[in-house]
């Protein structure tokens, strides 16, 4: 049995022996039904699209749109609240500023009043100082006349004349100072 029978084909020669018509052709099998395959695919796509359209029509708008709308409304409301707070703070600052301006005006008015009073007081002090100086000179004149009168007691008429002259001199000095001050 060392010889082989040549009529029995060997498995590796089996593929070689098949002719082109006998080989399985998968592409040829699919190619015979392309219209049916395309129609089935089209029907599946249409069914999916229709189910999505029905679902959206019954479920309402998509949740992403709802979330976007809610987020925009929230942002708009937050911006409005911030704007209202800014307006309130601005009004508060304006009121505070106006109060400060009013207080400053009151202080300026008070300062002017104090300045006027101080000027009047200084004028009065100057007037009183001049009067005191005039009175001191009159008193000095009287002292001198009194001292002279004591020294000249021997002549009462001369003492009296000196005394009158000293008083007259003091009165004239006093009147001159008043005229200088007023004039």
The answer for residues whose C-beta is within 8 angstroms of residue 173's C-beta and 6 or more apart is: 134, 137, 138, 141
Which secondary-structure segment (H or E) carries 21?
A: none
Top-ranked range on mean pLDDT: pick from 122-126, 138-142, 156-160:
122-126
Mean pLDDT lowest for which of 15-29, 94-108, 134-148?
A: 15-29
* pLDDT reported for residue 152: 65
CA distances to 43, 121, 169, 175, 179 from 130, in Å: 125, 14, 16, 11, 11
- With 50 as the cut, is the pLDDT of residue 59 above it? yes
Q: What is the pLDDT of residue 163?
A: 74
The answer to whether 133 touches 176, Cβ cutoff 8 Å, is no
More confident residue, 44 or 70: 44
- The per-residue pLDDT for 47 is 95
Virtual torsion, Cα 120, 125, 131, 137, nearest 10 deg? -150
Q: What's the rounded Cα separation, in Å, for the pair 90 and 106?
A: 24
Question: What is the pLDDT, as a whole number, of residue 157?
Answer: 64
Of the candidates 134, 146, 143, the residue with the CA atom closest to the CA atom of residue 170: 134
Q: Which residue has the tokens 């009194």?
A: 146
**pTM, to two decimals:** 0.38
pLDDT of residue 18: 47
pLDDT digits (tens, 9 = 90+) for 3-55: 555 555 555 544 444 444 455 555 555 556 788 888 899 999 999 999 988 88
Please give the residue that has the higher pLDDT: either 146 or 162.
146
Average pLDDT value for the chain: 79
Q: What are phi and psi of 106, to 5 degrees?
A: -65, -45
């Amino acid at each position: 049995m060392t010889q082989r029978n040549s009529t029995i084909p060997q498995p590796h020669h089996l593929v070689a022996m098949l002719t082109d018509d006998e080989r399985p052709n998968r592409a040829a099998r699919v190619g015979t039904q392309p219209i049916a395959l395309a129609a089935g695919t089209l029907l599946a796509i249409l069914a999916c699209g229709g189910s999505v359209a029905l679902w959206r029509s019954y479920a309402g708008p998509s949740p992403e749109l709802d979330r976007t709308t809610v987020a925009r409304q929230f942002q708009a409301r937050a911006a409005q609240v911030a704007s209202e707070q800014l307006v309130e703070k601005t009004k508060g600052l304006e009121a505070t500023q106006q109060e400060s301006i009013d207080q400053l005006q009151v202080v300026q008015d008070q300062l002017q009043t104090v300045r006027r009073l101080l000027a009047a007081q200084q004028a009065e002090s100057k007037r009183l100082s001049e009067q005191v100086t005039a009175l001191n000179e009159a008193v000095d004149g009287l002292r001198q006349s009194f001292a002279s009168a004591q020294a000249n007691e021997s002549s009462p008429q001369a003492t009296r004349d000196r005394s009158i002259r000293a008083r007259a001199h003091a009165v004239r000095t006093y009147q001159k100072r008043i005229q200088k001050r007023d004039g």
